[in-house]
Chains A and B, each alone.
With several copies, the nearest count.
Chain A
Amino acid sequence: MSTIETTYREAMRAAIRDALIRDDRVFLMGEDVGRYGGCFAVSLGLLEEFGSDRVRDTPLSESAFVGAGIGAALGGMRPIVEIMTVNFSMLALDQVVNNAATLLHMSGGQLNVPIVIRMTTGAGRQLAAQHSHSLEGWYAHIPGIRIVVPATLEDARGMLWTALADPDPVLIFEPGALYPMKGQLDESVREVDIDRAAIRRPGRDATVITYGATLGTSLAAADALAGEGIDVEVIDLRTLRPLDDATLLDSVTRTHRAVVVDEGWRTGSISAEISARITEQAFYDLDAPVERVCSAEVPMPYPKHLEDAALPQQVDVVAAVRRSIGDGG
């Protein structure tokens, strides 16, 4: 297999470009996706290549253009709708919760909504209290939609096409902190499965379950712990709804210890759901209570030192794994 050096941002762009080439029902729509090149430069150059009809700048009207994306999907298109940042998606939530997620069911199976909605999520760039939330886990509460979070170059490159092939609404959350991430990518990647979680690092002593921006944090923590002779398995959820319980439970029944790491606020987080499911289905296999490492429950403060303090750090993951092992010890 031949690989190329690329970034997460370029991989996302390649995925969008590829989709626009492969299927003429596909189009990209959102604020500044065209002439500006995307607020995080993801769609840079696509307007020039595909024209303003298929790379469509929208007014500041989140509810209408997300709703229009749903309508276009009903009309046989395959829209990729970009919302700049998860916080702004609150303005379009009515369309997502009351229309995209319900139409198939309300219509008794008549109306599919094959829309893909992409948005940036997460903190780490000192953007403060209205630009730094991580709400993908919160969205995972809604039946009728699928939630995916690419954490690797391969998933950034491959998840979009799989999402577009899905007959139902798929939301892709892109951790803003990952856009500059560099690495090697297999050139042949075009689509990837989005049904299963992935074991990014096999291990025997404890299972760390995470996704998105905290995958890197968790892998670094695992390396650190390896130095102490603690062998940690790291699982990347990849899809937050529906959750791949099988992969999680198989791991936990082997390691008997689980730590969930998640950039969302702790209360009502996806971590809580995972903790509850593991406890429900593997209670007697657990040597220690499931640990959670989440963000502090605070609207994100601007200063770097406070933002760092609010976010899950490698030391927090290391400490949680140690607690889990100490506990059961």
Chain B
Amino acid sequence: MSAKHRLELLRQMLRIRRFEERCAELYSAAKIRGFLHLYVGEEAVATGVIGALRPDEPIVSTYREHGHALARGVPMDAVMAEMYGRTNGCSRGRGGSMHLFDADRHFYGGNAIVGGGIPLAVGLGLADAMRGSHRVTTCFFGDGAFAEGEFHESVNLATLWQLPVLFACENNHYAMGTALARTHGQTDLALRAASYGLPAWPVDGMDVLAVEDAAHRAVEIIRAGGGPVFLELRTYRFRAHSMYDPDRYRDKAEIEEWKQRDPIDALVARMRTDGELGDGDLEAIEREVADELARAEEAAEAGPWEPVTDLTRFVYSERS
């Protein structure tokens, strides 16, 4: 893998990290409201998995999806404007943080019902399969979602019908305040997924290179007509579940331990030892990201509000 490519992965993770750190500030400043779920610490997952996909390959995500949207290429200003609820947002401001959509970029949201997006991904895969395409539809969901009946039904369906679906389980070891071991009788999720009859394995979700490598292997299987694949991406969220969460249920030492494995620091360190990070490279990226973020915030601030008279638009399609 080229140094240039690693630099790209680094840039992508930094874009997500800085974007969300800023969102937390903007939430405190009451520019962003409702629920806000941050992905800080998990950036390697979105970056590595989505990096292995073609831009036309569908993605179905959750309410913790800023990273997925940015990695897919939804412009940062459209994402930020959505957080502000403005009409230049990627969902026209109607969705907010939990409901980012971008049809042109095959980004199918943005779902705030845990597990609710999984059957949609199966259906997108079914549509492709019926057209004879092995285009990969990727579905992101968490360790908590794994307990939902919709997960079970969906994985069985995708396996039974050999659909081109990548099940990307972001195991960050907590479902809100509930630890993995208090959600599952058997906590080896990859093992359980394998019992459905599809390839499934665990991946170090803190190592973007390991994630990208695993994702490449997974999509190769799927594109070759091998049916669905399940990846358990073991990761951790450094921040609370949402801005409402006082994070009383995690032991600070545990959080610190995981922070030692920060995916960004890890890649930087690795590139430094491999001599792939020249003086000022990191600073240059940070500067570019800061500029992009500043422009995004301006665009959001300047974005128009939907007129109240349009309240009931988009409940049904507009008939021409």
Complex CA distance for A27 and B288, rounded to whole angstroms: 49
Complex CA distance for A146 and B311, rounded to whole angstroms: 19
- Is A75's CB under 8 angstroms from B96's CB? no
- Is B101's CB under 8 angstroms from A39's CB? no
Is B119 an interface residue when CB atoms closer than 8 A count as contact?
yes
Chain B residues near A65 (CB, 8 Å)?
Answer: 119, 153, 157
- Is A301's CB under 8 angstroms from B35's CB? no
Is B252 an interface residue when CB atoms closer than 8 A count as contact?
no
Complex CA distance for A303 and B150, rounded to whole angstroms: 30
B150's closest neighbor in chain A, by CB?
A63
- Is B33's CB under 8 angstroms from A68's CB? no
Complex CA distance for A24 and B314, rounded to whole angstroms: 27
Chain B residues near A91 (CB, 8 Å)?
Answer: 113, 148-150
Chain A residues near B249 (CB, 8 Å)?
Answer: 35-36
Complex CA distance for A51 and B118, rounded to whole angstroms: 26
Chain A residues near B122 (CB, 8 Å)?
Answer: 64, 67-68, 71
B60's closest neighbor in chain A, by CB?
A71
Is B29 an interface residue when CB atoms closer than 8 A count as contact?
no
A130's closest neighbor in chain B, by CB?
B112
- Is A37's CB under 8 angstroms from B147's CB? no
Q: Which of A62-90 contact B (CB under 8 A)?
A: 62-77, 79, 87-88
- Is A130's CB under 8 angstroms from B314's CB? no
B319's closest neighbor in chain A, by CB?
A167
| A102-110, A151-159, A206-214, A283-291 - the one binding chain B | A102-110
- Shortest distance in angstroms between B171's beta carbon and chain A's nearest beta carbon? 13
- Is B116's CB under 8 angstroms from A106's CB? no
- Is A306's CB under 8 angstroms from B306's CB? yes
A44's closest neighbor in chain B, by CB?
B248
Is B202 an interface residue when CB atoms closer than 8 A count as contact?
no
Chain B residues near A73 (CB, 8 Å)?
Answer: 123
Proximity bits, A195-231, B CB within 8 Å = 1, else 0: 0000000000000000000000000000000000000
**A60-B115 contact in complex given A107-B103, A131-B35, A302-B34, C-beta closer than 8 Å:** yes
- Shortest distance in angstroms between B126's beta carbon and chain A's nearest beta carbon? 5
A54's closest neighbor in chain B, by CB?
B130
Complex CA distance for A111 and B95, rounded to whole angstroms: 13
Tell me which of B87, B130, B176, B184 contacts A53 (CB under 8 A).
B130
B99's closest neighbor in chain A, by CB?
A106
**A131-B112 contact in complex given A27-B130, A298-B312, C-beta closer than 8 Å:** yes
Tell me which of A59, A75, A77, A108 contacts B89 (CB under 8 A).
A108
- Is A129's CB under 8 angstroms from B150's CB? no
Is B41 an interface residue when CB atoms closer than 8 A count as contact?
no
Proximity bits, A126-140, B CB within 8 Å = 1, else 0: 111111000000000
- Is A129's CB under 8 angstroms from B99's CB? yes
- Is B101's CB under 8 angstroms from A61's CB? no
Complex CA distance for A304 and B85, rounded to whole angstroms: 8
Chain A residues near B115 (CB, 8 Å)?
Answer: 60
- Shortest distance in angstroms between B180's beta carbon and chain A's nearest beta carbon? 10
- Is A126's CB under 8 angstroms from B34's CB? yes
- Is B121's CB under 8 angstroms from A106's CB? no
A53's closest neighbor in chain B, by CB?
B130
Chain B residues near A143 (CB, 8 Å)?
Answer: 315
Is A309 an interface residue when CB atoms closer than 8 A count as contact?
yes
Chain A residues near B177 (CB, 8 Å)?
Answer: 32, 34-37, 57
- Is A36's CB under 8 angstroms from B128's CB? no
- Is B317's CB under 8 angstroms from A168's CB? yes
Tell me which of B60, B94, B103, B184 contacts A59 (CB under 8 A).
B184
- Is B34's CB under 8 angstroms from A128's CB? yes
Q: Which of B83-113 contact A (CB under 8 A)?
A: 85-87, 89-96, 98-99, 101-103, 108-113
- Is B308's CB under 8 angstroms from A71's CB? no
Chain B residues near A75 (CB, 8 Å)?
Answer: 58, 123-124, 126-128
- Is A60's CB under 8 angstroms from B114's CB? yes
A105's closest neighbor in chain B, by CB?
B314
Tell me which of A36, A95, A302, A309 contacts B94 (CB under 8 A).
A302
Is B28 an interface residue when CB atoms closer than 8 A count as contact?
no
Is A310 an interface residue when CB atoms closer than 8 A count as contact?
yes
Q: Which of A282-329 contact B (CB under 8 A)?
A: 296-299, 301-306, 309-310
- Is A107's CB under 8 angstroms from B123's CB? no
- Is A127's CB under 8 angstroms from B35's CB? yes
- Is A167's CB under 8 angstroms from B317's CB? yes
Tell me which of A70, A106, A126, A130 contacts B91 (CB under 8 A).
A106
Is B145 an interface residue when CB atoms closer than 8 A count as contact?
yes
- Is A107's CB under 8 angstroms from B149's CB? no
Chain B residues near A95 (CB, 8 Å)?
Answer: 116, 119
- Is B98's CB under 8 angstroms from A63's CB? no
Proximity bits, B56-87, A CB within 8 Å = 1, else 0: 00101000000000000000000000000111
Is A18 an interface residue when CB atoms closer than 8 A count as contact?
no
Chain A residues near B89 (CB, 8 Å)?
Answer: 108
Question: Shortest 3 CB-CB distances between A and B: which pairs?
Answer: A71-B123, A67-B119, A108-B92
Q: Give me 6 A-to-B residue pairs in the complex whose CB atoms sit less than 8 angstroms apart, sorted by A's number.
A: A35-B178, A53-B130, A61-B153, A107-B101, A127-B34, A303-B305
Q: Which residue numbers of A lie inside 8 Å of B, CB to CB?
A: 27, 31-32, 34-37, 39, 53-54, 57-77, 79, 87-88, 91, 94-95, 98-99, 103-112, 125-131, 143-144, 146, 167-168, 296-299, 301-306, 309-310
Question: Contacts A103-B109, A110-B91 given; 11 further ones with Cβ under 8 A?
Answer: A34-B177, A36-B245, A39-B176, A60-B145, A75-B58, A75-B128, A95-B116, A105-B314, A128-B96, A129-B95, A306-B311
